[in-house]
Amino acid sequence: MITIRDRDTIKVGKEPVKDQFYKYYVDRVFDFQNTPLKRVVEVLNQAYDYTIIIDHSPDQKLLLTAKFEQNSLTEILKVISSTFGLKVHVKDREIHLTR
């Protein structure tokens, strides 16, 4: 993957890809395998341009195994909330996952 690290000097660098979630932009599939909820939220924030916040810090370590194929953010959040017993609160472009 090529990334531009410094927009002022246009330095181009190469960084290793830590997971395969970038493929979502090609095939619209998320395949989470024992993925910490914190990472799930990071990926969803990028893909759907929302700010999702996990209100209860220990919940960030919860592990999610699920595959989503062309699902809406609402559908994905329903699965996450029912799996972990969380509530979803939406206000504008901010979503809170809470106990």
User: Exposed e or buried b for every residue in 19-58, given b needs 16+ CB within 10 A?
Assistant: eebeebeeeeebbbeebebebbbebbeebbebebebeeee
The class (CATH top level) of 29-98 is alpha beta
Tens of each residue's pLDDT in the chain, 99 residues? 555 556 666 666 666 555 666 667 678 899 999 999 999 999 999 999 899 999 999 999 999 999 999 999 999 999 999 999 999 999 999 999 999
Amino acid, res. 79: V
Close Cβ partners of 95 (under 8 Å, ≥ 6 residues apart) = 50, 51, 52, 53, 77, 88, 89
26 three-state secondary structure: helix
Give CA–CA dist 22/54, Å, rounded. Answer: 22
Provide the whole-model pTM: 0.78
